[in-house]
């Protein structure tokens, strides 16, 4: 036993290092040496290694889900504040912003004939001026014809209104109302007194209306000037914007702008076609029924197509009221049925065929956009809400395509 214990000490000097590296028998090693870590692959140049995730303290009283909700909430508040500030600035600068929007929308319709003239030896300025003056002449002619029709038939319509008022008075004098002529006159006098009492408010309204009229005239002049230059120098102006502000993303910015303008072009052209079809169908029905003011109502129907949902409703309501005044309840009900039928044809046939190829927006999104636009900016918001929604949908589609596209290899 003793010899065995002494045997390691009798080993030759060649084994001294091995003997010293072994632990003494009966004693456990203090720690087991870790195996050597594998050599990591060299990092690609220019790649920043990802930072390790931050570990929350176990004593943190705030649960992770509440921390995430708070982070999302303040970011949403920041986005909402930015949107509200942008809307306020745009509303404050409406005399400039609204003409820009109108000029861009109108240019989508007038640019094709301007380009056709440019291809047939017209200079850019001459082509833009010719198309713009032609459009103004066409609009003035339509308004003149509508005004002439109203002036020509207003006497007949006034007689119909007088007859309707007389019939309403006879109806109120019968049971269950049993109103006498004295009662009706008293109500009319009370209405006149209330009207005179509110003369101050009416005067303020007249002043406000004059201010609005001045803004409309100023905006119209700015719109015509912008429209002329958009038709004349539109591509060059956009190239300057891309080269100045595009930076490294100028290609994507240019592609997004082209898609957005194409979507707006399809939207406006679709509205023109849908409005023309609605005006022709409603005008034919009104002419068959003998309702007066056919052409003004056709023009109102055409213009109402540029304000989705609300414009068509207001044009149809005007047609029904005129039919009620001129032809009575039966004629008004027939016109109402005609308007409903035309709206059904528009919603189920014309819009899917004409608008479905250019924009893909669910009707719920259109209704919400109209509601938000009407609440924030009134009739102007209703007018521009759907074009803005079209641009937003185009931008989201483009962003999704860029995100799903395969990465472009870096040049050698």
User: Does residue 92 have a pLDDT over 90?
Assistant: no
**What CA–CA distance (Å, rounded) separates 169 from 179?**
9
Cβ neighbourhood burial of 259 (10 Å; 0-12, 13-18, 19+): middle
Render pLDDT for 160-187 as a digit per residue (tens, 0 to 9).
666 666 666 666 666 766 666 676 667 6
* Cα 292–Cα 298–Cα 301 angle in degrees, nearest 5: 125
Per mean pLDDT, which of 195-204, 255-264, 309-318 is the most reliable? 255-264
What is the pLDDT averaged over residues 346-372? 73
Per the model's pLDDT, the better-predicted residue between 31 and 263 turns out to be: 263
User: Does residue 3 have a pLDDT over 60?
Assistant: no
Mean pLDDT of the chain: 76
Q: Indicate the range of 128-132, 205-209, 228-232, 401-405 predicted with least confidence.
A: 205-209
* Bond prior to 87 in cis (omega within 30° of 0): no
Per the model's pLDDT, the better-predicted residue between 159 and 9 turns out to be: 159
What is the pLDDT averaged over residues 293-320? 82
Q: Would you say 274 and 305 are in contact if contact means Cβ atoms under 8 Å apart?
A: yes
User: Does residue 133 have a pLDDT over 90?
Assistant: yes
What is the pLDDT averaged over residues 141-150? 83
Per the model's pLDDT, the better-predicted residue between 238 and 247 turns out to be: 238
Per the model's pLDDT, the better-predicted residue between 45 and 101 turns out to be: 101
Three-state DSSP string of the chain: CHHHHHHHHHCCHHHHHHHHHCCCCCCCCCCCCCCCCCCCCCCCCCCCCCCCCCCCCCCCCCCHHHHHHHHHHHHHHHHHHHHHHHHHHHHHCHHHHHHHHHHHHHHHHHHHHHHHHHHCCCCHHHHHHHHHHHHHHHHHHHHHHHHHHHHHHHHHHHHHHHHHHHHHHHHHCCCCCCCCHHHHHHHHHHHHHHHHHCHHHHHHHHHHHHHHHHHHHHHHHHHHHHHHHHHHHHHHHHHHHHHHHCHHHHHHHHHHHHHHHHHHHHHHHHHHHHHHHHHHHHHHHHHHHCCCCHHHHHHHHHHHCCCCCHHHHHHHHHHHHHHHHHHCHHHHHHHHHHHHHHHHHHHHHHHHHHHCCCCCCCHHHHHHHHHHHHHHHHHHHHHHHHHHHHHHHHHHHHHHHHHHCCCCCCCC
**What CA–CA distance (Å, rounded) separates 298 from 236?**
39
**What CA–CA distance (Å, rounded) separates 310 from 300?**
12
| Residue whose C-alpha is closest to residue 106's, from 23, 263, 227, 257 | 227
Q: Indicate the range of 39-53, 63-77, 224-238, 349-363 predicted with least confidence.
A: 39-53
User: Does residue 364 have a pLDDT over 80?
Assistant: no
Phi-psi region of 263 (alpha: psi -120 to 50; beta: other; left: phi over 0): alpha
Q: What pLDDT is recorded for position 391?
A: 86
Q: What pLDDT is recorded for position 74?
A: 92
Q: pTM of the full predicted structure?
A: 0.66
**What CA–CA distance (Å, rounded) separates 316 from 300?**
9
Per the model's pLDDT, the better-predicted residue between 373 and 289 turns out to be: 289
User: Does residue 38 have a pLDDT over 70?
Assistant: no
Percentage of the residues of the chain whose pLDDT score is greater than 90 = 12
Q: What pLDDT is recorded for position 136?
A: 93
């Amino acid at each position: 036993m003793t010899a065995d214990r002494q045997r390691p000490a009798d080993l030759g000097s060649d084994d001294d290092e091995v003997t010293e590296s072994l632990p003494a028998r009966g004693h456990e090693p203090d720690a087991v040496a870790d195996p050597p870590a594998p050599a990591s692959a060299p990092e690609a140049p220019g790649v920043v290694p990802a930072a390790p995730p931050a570990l929350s303290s176990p004593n943190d009283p705030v649960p992770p889900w509440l921390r995430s909700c708070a982070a999302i909430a303040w970011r949403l508040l920041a986005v909402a504040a930015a949107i509200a500030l942008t809307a306020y600035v745009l509303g404050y600068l409406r005399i400039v912003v609204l003409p820009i929007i109108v000029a861009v929308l109108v240019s989508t319709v007038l640019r094709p004939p301007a380009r056709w003239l440019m291809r047939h030896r017209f200079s850019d300025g001459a082509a833009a001026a010719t198309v713009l003056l032609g459009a103004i002449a066409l609009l003035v002619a339509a308004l003149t014809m509508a005004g002439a029709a109203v002036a020509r038939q207003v006497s007949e319509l006034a007689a119909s209104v007088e007859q309707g008022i007389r019939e309403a008075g006879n109806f109120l004098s019968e049971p269950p109302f049993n109103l006498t002529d004295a009662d009706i006159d008293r109500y009319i006098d009370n209405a006149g007194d209330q009207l005179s009492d509110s003369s101050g408010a009416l005067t303020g309204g007249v002043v406000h209306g004059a201010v609005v009229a001045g803004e409309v005239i100023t905006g119209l002049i700015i719109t015509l000037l912008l429209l002329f230059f958009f038709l004349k120098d539109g591509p060059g102006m956009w190239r300057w914007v891309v080269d100045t502000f595009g930076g490294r993303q100028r290609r994507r910015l240019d592609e997004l702008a082209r898609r957005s303008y194409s979507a707006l072009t399809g939207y406006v052209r679709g509205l023109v076609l849908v409005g023309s079809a609605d005006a022709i169908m409603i005008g034919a029905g009104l002419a068959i029924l003998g309702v007066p003011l056919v052409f003004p109502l056709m023009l109102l129907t055409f213009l109402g197509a540029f304000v989705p949902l609300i414009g068509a409703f207001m044009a149809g309501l005007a047609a029904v009221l005129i039919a009620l005044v001129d032809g009575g309840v039966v004629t008004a009900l027939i016109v109402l049925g005609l308007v409903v039928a035309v709206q059904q044809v528009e919603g189920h046939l014309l819009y899917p065929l004409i608008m479905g190829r250019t924009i893909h927006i669910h009707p719920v999104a259109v209704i919400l956009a109209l509601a938000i636009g009407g609440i924030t900016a009134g009739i102007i918001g209703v007018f521009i809400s759907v074009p803005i929604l079209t641009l937003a949908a185009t931008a989201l589609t483009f962003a999704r395509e860029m995100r799903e596209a395969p990465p472009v290899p870096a040049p050698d």
